[in-house]
Amino acid sequence: MTTMSQPSDVDAAAAGPGSVLVTGASGGIGQAISRALGSAGWCVGVHYHKGKASAERILSEIEQTGGRGALYEADVRHARSVEQMVNAFAQNHPPPLSFVCAAGISGGELVLRLQEHMWAEVMATNLTGLFHCLRAMIPPLLGQGGGSIVVVGSYAGYQGAAGQAAYAASKAGQLGLVKTAALEFGEENICVNLLWPGWQHTKLAEGAYPGKDGWRDHALRRSPALGEVVRTVVHLLQVKDVSGQIWNCDSRLLFL
């Protein structure tokens, strides 16, 4: 079931850059993205599944700084739940609409120790969940003549990650899904891009964050600042002529 708080009455003409729904907004990176978008004048749909208290706090922070938004609850593993959320968002917020897909979970385990239920849970959330989101989000973008979707992925989907088989595989799948959606809907002026945020101090990275000697594959020998990541997301949502691309926000080199 999708629930939402009522957005403030707002004239579409005074809506700023538009409205954006952020899935996974109760998580670490999703929280930062939601705050940045609210500060930049967007009307923010703050999605959560289990982290209602965190989502309420983020919405309160957005509103305290003069921003606007609403809460949305949905389980991305279930198509109907996502459809209800996106439909409610599209009906209750001023266009143009945009989307950020940041919902995800980790599942740290070696291949030989990975239980099928753990594999299925990570895939259902990270990959099938993204499929549900794209399938629900693209129709309202078609209806408004185009728009942007930014997907928060992971470098693990490109390089792999020891002890993170399900997570890395799900993120690799996201890469193919994003590129396919970009190809299928580019002629309709819909931009779909994938962003790799690098290592961030979030709950998702607990137990895996590199130590002081773990930055040798980073040209800058450090992680990217979270502020740099969220500014990139805000920029990507407004780019009109770039789609199907990987935006790597850290200094690891890509050999494609």
Q: Which domains does the chain have, with CATH numbers?
A: 12-248 (3.40.50.720)
| Over residues 25-29, mean pLDDT | 89
- Residues 235 and 38: their CA atoms lie apart, in Å, by 14
Q: pTM value? A: 0.87
Of 48, 72, 158, 167, the active-site residue reads: 167
* Gyration radius (Cα) of the chain, Å: 17
Please answer whether residues 105 and 155 qualify as being in contact, where contact means their C-beta atoms are separated by less than 8 angstroms.
Answer: no
Does pLDDT of 205 surpass 60? no
Split at pLDDT 50, 70, 90, the class of 237 is very high
Residue 167 is a catalytic residue:
yes
- Residues 232 and 151: their CA atoms lie apart, in Å, by 12
